[in-house]
Amino acid sequence: MKKKNIIELTHCDVETYRKLDKIPVMVLCDNVRSMHNIGALFRTSDAFLIRKIILGGISGCPPHPEISKTALGAENSVEWSHVDSSLEEVVRLKSEGWKILVLEQTHGSMPLQFYKRNPAEKILLVVGNEVDGVDQRIVDEADLCLEIPQYGTKHSLNVSCSAAIALWQIVSSGW
C-alpha cells in the first residue's frame, strides 16, 4: 500500500465545506479550559461534518494561536458560537427538540458502544471541564449519559480524545 498525498486527501476548500449539509449533531463544551482541546474538537468536528460547536462558559474561543495549532484551520470551517451559560443553552436547545447526550461517568450511564443514533434526531453532545467534568445541573437535564468503558488504572481520557471517540460512535451509528 502507498500512503495518500495531500492532494489525494483534500476533499474540499473551506468555502465548499461550509456549504455542505451537516449531520444534525452539535457539541457543547462546558467550561473546557485547554485551548489545545478546543482546537482538537474543531478538527474532529470538521472531520465528521458536525453542525456546530458551542463554547460555553470559560471555554476558549477562536481566534487563538493554541486553538489554531491543533485545529489546523478547522476553526474557520466549523460553525461555532459562545454562550456564557452552558446550562441555559442546554435548556434552550432541549426545548427546541434537541436530544441532550452528556459524555460523563454517572450511575446509570450507557456504555458508548451500545448507543445507536436515530438519524432523525437532533443531538447535542455535551463534554466537560478537564478536572470537574460536566456540571451536575447539565447532567440532570440530560436525556442520556454516555460513558466510554475503560480498563486500566486511569478513570478518564482527555476531553478531546473522549469527544472524538463519542462523535465517531454517534455519527457512524446513524448511517
- All three cell numbers of 168: 465517531
- Residue 153: give the domain boundaries: 31-173
For 49: left if phi > 0, alpha if psi spans -120 to 50, otherwise beta; the answer is left
Domain-located, residue 117: yes
pLDDT at 174 over 90: no
Domain-located, residue 87: yes
The tens digit of pLDDT for each residue in 122-165 reads 999 999 999 999 999 999 999 999 999 999 999 999 999 999 99
Domain-located, residue 141: yes
Q: What pLDDT score does 175 carry?
A: 66
Inter-CA distances, 62 with 82, 128, 164, Å: 10, 18, 20
- All three cell numbers of 46: 470538521
Element (H, E) at 81: strand 80-83
The tens digit of pLDDT for each residue in 81-120 reads 999 999 999 999 999 999 999 999 999 999 999 999 999 9
The tens digit of pLDDT for each residue in 22-33 reads 999 999 999 999
Which amino acid belongs to residue 116?
Answer: K
Structural domain count, the chain: 1
Domain-located, residue 21: no
Domain-located, residue 84: yes
CA of residue 169 relative to chain centroid, distance:
12
Domain-located, residue 23: no
Provide the CATH number for the domain around residue 77: 3.40.1280.10
Domain-located, residue 7: no
pLDDT at 10 over 90: no
DSSP secondary structure letter of residue 3: -
